[in-house]
A = this chain, B = another copy of it.
Amino acid sequence: MAKDFVKRSENFSEWYNELVVRADLAENSAVRGCMVIKPYGYAIWERMQATLDSMFKATGHVNAYFPLFIPKSFLSREADHVKGFAKECAVVTHYRLKTNEEGTGVVVDPEARLEEELIVRPTSETIIWSTYKNWIKSYRDLPILCNQWANVVRWEMRTRMFLRTAEFLWQEGHTAHATREEAVAEAERMLEVYADFANNYMAVPVIKGVKSPNERFAGALDTYCIEAMMQDGKALQAGTSHFLGQNFAKAFEVQFLNKENKLEYVWATSWGVSTRLMGALIMTHSDDNGLVLPPKLAPIQVAIVPICKNAEQMAEIDTKVQPVIDALRAKGISVKYDNRPEYKPGWKFTEYEFKGVPVRLAFGPRDLENGTCEVCRRNTLEKETRPLDGIVEYVDNLLVDIQHSIYQRALDFRIGRTRKVDTWEDFKVEIEKNGFLLCHWDGTVETEERIKEETKATIRCIPFDAPEEEGKCIYSGRPSHRRVIFARSY
């Protein structure tokens, strides 16, 4: 299966595209820019969803559902917002088809034109704040802590599976608060949730920070983000949480009576992660042999492959293996026992390796005799023979170990590809090697734009934990008080 599979070092981009298809994660559809998420890819996404959803609920959020369509006039209410999204809107203009004159097919019925065009939501702030207007009268109605799992559409010109598609799946949280402080705290809290998820479930180490004004969400006062480094050294924004101030409350006239009985505009946040996380997961851990999945999100955590010459031996192994399967499952470990006779063990090994199954066990005739089995860990491809006695605890610990190892490996990689750069000459050389460059910046939009034009690098974030340090802007030489992260990005 992994035959003719391109190496990361040869062509990282092609490696990614091929991996997505060959590991049965997704494929391009007949509709430009839209992907089909295949069952194996969707099973990983389902695990992401379930984990995130329980984290949202544990922090007091509830789910709801708002319309797919947004009246064009709603989108225009917040000036920055519409500017940010107008160029990538899918527009519904008609609501009926009819048979063509020749009777051979269907055409859009010109008489079924909508009075006002509807936009397929690129994000839902406007439709949600038009709804919140009816929900909020008094401080007693606040906070509102809603999330929705939904599809959104942004008509991107250049698309790549999971990373940038015209339609994608995501969750979008939209909260309403009585005070600025509470809204800021909410936006920060949700960034913590995202960072926790990325670090501890995806095993993708992320840097938390705030976006420069240039990279802010359209309509936000502040955008917080988590940034990850892919194996080619490029940055990937894995999640964002926005402090929206009172912008949307003002655009939709959402006011509340505070405890002093005075009318005030409501404070807002929104925050989202999407199927883009799948791209981050793949590009952080996978290797030239295929996918590498963190045990906590792997649809199959342990694959067990019997090796035998005939049906009799297979039956013997089946009997021997069943208690191991039962015991693993009793621990909540997801096991696939693959005793299909029509496929050879070697084919199965490659298959589960390619699909990133964290642990593979193999039982052969000799193992039957000796009471052993072969254990192979996907992240290092190391194999060892272990006694069956105690194998369940061993595998359980191994899964924990793999989860930690791949996180640590990714963290070491990021640290190794992050360096301080202090001159413009160095910057231009270093950025060609990708990775994160810690640099001083004068805080202006102009400088950031110039740097982007000249090098394609952008400020990924101003890290929350960036220490104060006096320095000079890498580009303009003007004074700066802390370093920010520059990188090329997905």
Contacts and interface: CB of A to CB of B under 8 A. Distances in A.
Interface residues of A, number: 64
Contact of A155 (B74, B93, B96, B131): B96
Nearest to A38: B64
A106 B76 contact: yes
B105 A73 contact: yes
A155 B94 CA distance: 10
A65 B106 contact: no
A464 interface: no
Given A63-B46, A64-B36, A65-B37, A97 B89 contact: yes
A471 interface: no
A155 B112 CA distance: 11
B69 A42 contact: no
A91 interface: yes
A24 to B, nearest CB: 10
Contacts of A82: 97, 106
A92 B42 CA distance: 26
A70 interface: yes
Majority SS of interface residues in chain A?
Answer: mixed
Identical copies of this chain, number: 2
Interface in A184-236: none
A368 interface: no
Contact of A71 (B27, B30, B35, B45): B30
A6 interface: no
A394 interface: no
A95 B105 contact: no
A69 B62 CA distance: 29
Interface in A328-355: 342
Interface string A153-173: 101000000000001010000
Contact of A127 (B31, B67, B92, B98): B31
A120 B120 contact: yes
Contact of A90 (B38, B95, B127, B131): B95
Contacts of A119: 97
A262 interface: no
Given A30-B131, A86-B99, 19 more contacts: A29-B67, A30-B127, A31-B127, A34-B67, A36-B66, A39-B62, A42-B65, A72-B106, A76-B106, A82-B97, A86-B98, A87-B97, A89-B96, A91-B92, A91-B108, A92-B120, A93-B94, A95-B155, A150-B151
Interface of A: 27, 29-31, 34-39, 42-43, 45-46, 62-76, 82, 86-99, 105-106, 108, 117-120, 127, 130-131, 134, 140, 146, 150-151, 153, 155, 167, 169, 342
